[in-house]
Structures are given as structure tokens and as C-alpha cells.
């Protein structure tokens, strides 16, 4: 979590960013104010925009695709990205116009730490196996990135549940770590996007809510070996029969 000093600094920086905004046709460019230690957007993004700044936006709104959907992280601002952005804006009481400008970026700056993780989750929580992210089914850099996307999905889910704490019991696993806990050979944990959640809300409540936040894999009560936790991942189907899923 950020210290109070960092929070004040970001608020002031975000205000400076908004104040430096100038209109150039349909694109908004910004001044050189440093708004965040992770990533700074320099223009308003609308449907039809392309580039790395769009991809960075997509990562952070990946948890708002709607029921049983996912958005691409391809740097192309299409209809699905616009719809996800509107849901994000609505979730935080912003002007829901489907355009990412200073107001949206200020909220994103407030929601993330300087390592690009959302404020309520950390890389350490998503990897209790090793410090390198190596040894899984994908390259270490890919596993770490997949975990980052999962964290942003979890941040959206957490907010939808009333900003409750979500306790993570397992995230990335190398093959060795996965074998040690009896994980399946195709476990999403090996890819970095698998996450096991325990505690409260109830396992079924978490499984049911996860359907709206970009998780293609949901395993919970009613699925073998998942009576004591809820699992989410990028792909693999939904199986939680005791929860109506």
C-alpha cells in the first residue's frame, strides 16, 4: 500500500497532468508532468486508437469485459475495449463516455503502485514458489506478466464485491512447486495466471463474481479438490456445480 506521502504526491501530480492538457484536433496531448512511477499516458484514447498506451490501458481494465468475456491486450482500441472502459468508468463514478482521458488516467494512477501492480495485490502474493518466475510452462517474463493481468482482474472483482480483502493462497508455480502440492499437469498456475482464493467472501460468492471479470477458468465447490478454495485462471472452463456454475 502506498504511504500517505505517496498518495498526496500522486494526487498533486495527477492534477498537474490534467492542468497541462491541451487539445490538438481530436487528440489530447499532455505536458511533461510525472503522474506515476509506473506508466504515464500522454493522450486521450478513443475507439480506433492504437499503440502501447492502448495496451497499457487494456491491462488495467481487463477485469471489466462483462459476463463470460475477455478483452484482447493487443493495443487496438476496439468496441470490446470501449465497453470495458465504460464499465470501469461506471464502477468508479467517472464520466462514462468510453474515452480514456485525464479523469480516467487519474483514477488508474490512484489504483496502482510504482511496479504497475494494483494497490491491493503484489507480485509476492502471486508467487510463493520462487523469486524468478522460472520453471513453469512459459517463460518467466510471460508468467510474471500473466500474473499482473490476473491481479488487475482481481482488483476489479474486489471492487465489485465492495472493496473487500481477497486472500490468495496460491499463485504461480514452477513444475516442481506444482508437483509438490499435487497440482494437475495442465494447471493454470504453471502459466502465472492461476490464482487460488480462500477466506471471505464465501467460495461460491467469489466464483460467481469472477464470471464478470475476464476469468475463463473458474473452479470452486462442487469441482473435485476445490471444496476449500476458489480458483481462477485465464482459460479452462467454469466448474463449480455447488455454486450454480
Task: Identify whether the C-beta of residue 188 lies closer than 8 Å to the C-beta of residue 236.
Answer: yes
Pick the catalytic residue from 189, 226, 229, 231.
226
Residue 130: burial class (beta carbons within 10 Å; 0-12, 13-18, 19+): middle
Task: Identify whether the C-beta of residue 133 lies closer than 8 Å to the C-beta of residue 127.
Answer: yes
* Secondary structure (DSSP) of 53-119: HHHHHHHHTTT-S-TT-----SSB--HHHHHHHHHHHHHTT---SS-B-HHHHHHHHHHB-TTS-BT
231 is catalytic: no
Q: Which residues are catalytic?
A: 226
Amino acid at each position: 500500500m502506498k504511504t500517505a506521502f505517496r498518495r498526496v504526491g500522486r494526487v498533486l501530480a495527477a492534477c498537474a497532468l490534467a492542468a497541462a492538457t491541451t487539445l490538438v484536433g481530436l487528440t489530447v496531448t499532455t505536458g511533461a508532468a510525472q503522474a506515476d512511477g509506473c506508466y504515464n499516458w500522454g493522450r486521450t484514447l478513443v475507439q480506433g486508437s492504437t499503440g502501447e498506451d492502448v495496451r497499457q490501458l487494456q491491462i488495467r481494465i481487463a477485469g471489466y469485459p462483462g459476463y463470460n468475456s475477455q478483452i484482447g491486450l493487443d493495443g487496438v482500441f476496439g468496441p470490446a475495449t470501449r465497453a470495458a472502459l465504460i464499465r470501469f468508468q461506471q464502477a468508479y463514478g467517472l464520466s462514462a463516455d468510453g474515452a480514456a482521458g485525464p479523469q480516467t488516467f487519474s483514477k488508474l494512477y490512484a489504483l496502482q503502485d510504482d511496479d504497475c501492480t494494483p494497490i491491493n495485490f503484489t507480485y509476492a502474493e502471486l508467487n510463493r514458489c520462487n523469486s524468478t518466475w522460472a520453471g513453469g510452462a512459459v517463460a518467466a517474463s510471460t508468467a510474471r506478466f500473466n500474473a499482473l493481468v490476473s491481479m488487475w482482474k482481481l482488483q476489479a472483482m474486489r471492487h465489485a464485491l465492495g472493496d473487500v480483502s481477497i486472500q490468495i493462497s496460491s499463485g504461480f508455480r514452477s513444475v516442481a512447486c506444482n508437483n509438490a502440492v499435487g497440482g494437475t499437469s495442465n494447471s493454470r498456475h504453471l502459466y502465472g495466471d492461476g490464482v487460488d482464493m480462500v477466506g471471505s467472501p464465501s467460495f461460491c460468492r467469489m466464483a460467481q463474481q469472477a464470471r464478470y471479470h475476464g476469468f475463463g477458468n473458474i473452479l470452486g465447490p462442487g469441482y473435485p479438490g476445490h471444496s476449500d478454495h476458489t480458483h481462477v485462471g485465464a482459460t479452462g472452463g467454469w466448474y463449480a456445480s455447488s455454486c450454480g456454475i
